[in-house]
Amino acid sequence: MSESAASTKYQAIANDLRQKIATGAFEVGGLLPTKAELMAQYSVALNTVDKALDVLRDLGLIESQQGVGTFVRAKEPVQEADLRTRVHQLETQVAELFELLDQRPPTRRGNEPQ
């Protein structure tokens, strides 16, 4: 398969999944099919499924948890302001976790700028 055809295929898969999320076929909070199931359903390789999921992840529609699966996060793409809010929330949660663990974030070493 040419690079152009592969590119079109993952975009088509992303569009199909996005439509299914928007129409409620995959509910917010619910799991998407596994990568293996998506590979079989669309007759594509893992790399193609990964690229399609990356598109949805970049739009803020899904999030993955290692060992658990990929969850629908939102029906509509997340706006940039929402992303900034989400980043701030995550930073706050990380800081709270460090406090709970009574640890500090690792310090930089070597030639890395501070």
Q: Residue 105's pLDDT is what?
A: 60
The residues, any chain, with a CB within 8 Å of residue 67's CB and separated by 6 or more, are none
pLDDT in tens, 14-40: 999 999 999 999 999 999 999 999 999
Does the model's pTM come out above 0.75? no
The residues, any chain, with a CB within 8 Å of residue 65's CB and separated by 6 or more, are 71
What's the angle, vertex CA 34, arms to CA 30 and CA 38, rounded to 5?
110
pLDDT in tens, 47-79: 999 999 999 998 999 999 989 999 999 998 876
**70: burial class by Cβ within 10 Å (0-12, 13-18, 19+)?**
buried
